[in-house]
A and B are shown apart, each in its own frame.
Chain A
Amino acid sequence: MPGEPAVAAPSDAVVRVRGLHYGFGSRKIFDGVDLEAARGRVTAVMGPSGTGKTTLLRLITGQVAPATGSVEVFGQEVTTLDTAGVYALRKRMGMLFQNGALLTDLSVVDKLSNQVRAHARLPERVLRQLVLTKLHAVGLRGAAELMPGELSGGMARRVALARAIVMDPDLLIYDEPFVGLDPVSMGVIVRLIRELNDALGITSIVVSHDVRELASIAHHSYLLSGGKVVAHGTPAELDASPLPIVRQFMSGQSDGPVPFHYPAADYHADLLGGGTERPRS
């Protein structure tokens, strides 16, 4: 959004990542990442496949620890928390998984009810009212008694969203929420992300590579590539960026700074039988 600061003021940041380094074995995933998610805003994290977007969410939620760097959520350093501390922190979070991650042996209403029962003791009547309210918010009150096998992909995603908000979290994290959805379902999810964010006053982090959908709902976007934040700003600012990698990503070009070909030996040498050695990227 034009006119807004590119990075949130320190007191406004619900999530603050500083100097993040992380890798698997010798492979570097993050090489000094800094980003922030401002309170009450939708922050988008974009990037080509394999740049570690989902890994970033795993670091924010305390599932894995960084090699070096700081991950601060609600003002607490996640890396220094013990298991109980991480669980206490997670009680303030909700997360929508790429595949929904719904328990397969429970009806829709039971899934949400179980989530509440795990944290609070409520009379059954109140619990049902609460669950129906959340299902109504995602447009699925009428599907309360359905089993997972009876839900379409889009409905399953919305049930997962209802489950994520059932405990009224302060931070809602979306991992590739648009993957595999038809245009109508995608439109519904896009609308719900922004509406829930604004109506409930929560902070949202959306990881995706669906540029257009993110542009319509995000207040601030980060573009990750090669283990670093290569650009960040409002969707309009990213759209106007002259950086080649930003241009390639925003316009969906198949070749550019992110090459079409995986690094390989010389094509002719390879075809003639001499190039089977592993290339240096």
Chain B
Amino acid sequence: MIGDTLSRIGRVGLFLVRVLRHAGVVFTEPRAVVHQIYNAGARSLVIIMLCGLFVGMVLGLQGYDLLQRFGSEDALGVAAALGLLKELGPVVTALLFAGRAGTSLTSEIGLMRATDQLTAMEIMAVDPLRKVVAPRLIGGIIAMPLLVAVFNVIGLFGAQLIGVQVMGVDPGAFWSQMQGAVELDDVNEGIVKSFCFGVACSLVAVYEGYHAQPTAAGVGLATTRTVVISSVLTLLIDYILTAAFLGR
């Protein structure tokens, strides 16, 4: 069991190295990478914005309920901003990314395998790792921090909507306390997390698709594995990074 897991991690690591050897596609085929940023990023915008709004609204409600018990409801802006920037933004976006863009990447590459499109490339001396996998992996890695940024902005709007507009928190206190308390390190923590989640989720998605059994059931299984592994990895990496940032 442990041996299998370690060997699997080794295979994924080698796969990543093989794909990153083609990282030059960013410069040689920028259109392909931009197309994948559009696929993984722009096409996930609606779900990211919608969920960001709801998460922010819940944060506004729960935060207000908690803080008003201590007479600190003016600190709602700080609580919402730190919660979103450091934790909820990157984590929830990564989970949504795994479900929307990750499954799309896996099923697309898996179907290309099942319908011999990847084999056809190999036979005609075109490396599918360069032509298919590298642009998708890099596109996903670039898209994730951008989606996190959008999620955070919409989330803050949702928190403000409930906290300020509905619950009556003073808008000046909401924004000024946020501005005073949130530091660059907090923003950096979120950026580092979103980048790491982008690498993990995109890598799992392309790996599972590339190695899917070339059958309908195989592609379905690979898609499921993408969601499960990406979600677990996101939460695991989140804990490790949080502990590292807090110096514990």
Contact = CB atoms under 8 A, between A and B. Distances in A.
A91 B117 contact: no
Nearest to A166: B124
A136 to B, nearest CB: 20
B116 A99 contact: yes
Contact of A93 (B112, B115, B123): B123
A163 B126 CA distance: 13
A167 B126 CA distance: 12
A60 B40 CA distance: 38
Central interface residue in B119, B125, B126, by most chain A CB within 10 Å: B125
Interface string A64-106: 0000000000000000000000011011011101110111100
Contact of B122 (A90, A98, A99, A119): A90
Nearest to B126: A118
Contact of B115 (A101, A114, A115): A101
Nearest to B117: A101
A276 interface: no
B127 interface: yes
A76 B120 CA distance: 21
A103 B125 CA distance: 15
Interface in B228-247: none
A101 B122 contact: no
Contact of A95 (B115, B124, B127, B131): B124
Contacts of A114: 131
A204 interface: no
A99 B115 contact: yes
B125 A90 contact: yes
What size tier do the contact residues of chain B reach? 10 to 19
B34 to A, nearest CB: 15
Interface in B102-136: 112, 115-117, 119-120, 122-127, 131
A251 interface: no
A91 B124 CA distance: 6
A103 B116 CA distance: 9
A40 B20 CA distance: 41
A61 interface: yes
Contact of A61 (B115, B123, B127, B131): B123
A115 B121 CA distance: 9
Contacts of A94: 124
Nearest to A87: B125
Contacts of A99: 115-116
B93 to A, nearest CB: 26
Nearest to B29: A117
A84 to B, nearest CB: 10
A102 B123 contact: no
Contact of B117 (A87, A103, A118, A164): A103
Interface string B121-159: 011111100010000000000000000000000000000
Central interface residue in B112, B119, B123, B127, by most chain A CB within 10 Å: B123
A97 B114 CA distance: 13
Central interface residue in A87, A101, A102, by most chain B CB within 10 Å: A101
A63 interface: yes
A163 B123 CA distance: 12
B135 to A, nearest CB: 12
Nearest to B32: A114
Contacts of B126: 115, 118-119
Contacts of B117: 101-104
A97 B120 CA distance: 7
Contacts of B116: 97-99, 101
Interface string A166-181: 0100000100000000
A108 to B, nearest CB: 15
B115 A167 contact: no
A158 to B, nearest CB: 15
Given A101-B115, A118-B131, A95 B120 contact: yes
B124 A167 contact: yes
B125 A101 contact: no
Contact of B124 (A88, A98, A104, A115): A115
24 contacts: A88-B125, A90-B124, A90-B125, A91-B125, A93-B124, A93-B125, A94-B124, A95-B120, A95-B123, A95-B124, A97-B116, A97-B120, A99-B116, A101-B116, A101-B117, A102-B120, A104-B115, A115-B124, A115-B126, A118-B124, A118-B126, A118-B131, A119-B126, A173-B123
Given A102-B120, A118-B124, 11 more contacts: A63-B122, A63-B123, A87-B125, A90-B124, A95-B124, A97-B119, A101-B117, A102-B117, A114-B131, A118-B126, A118-B131
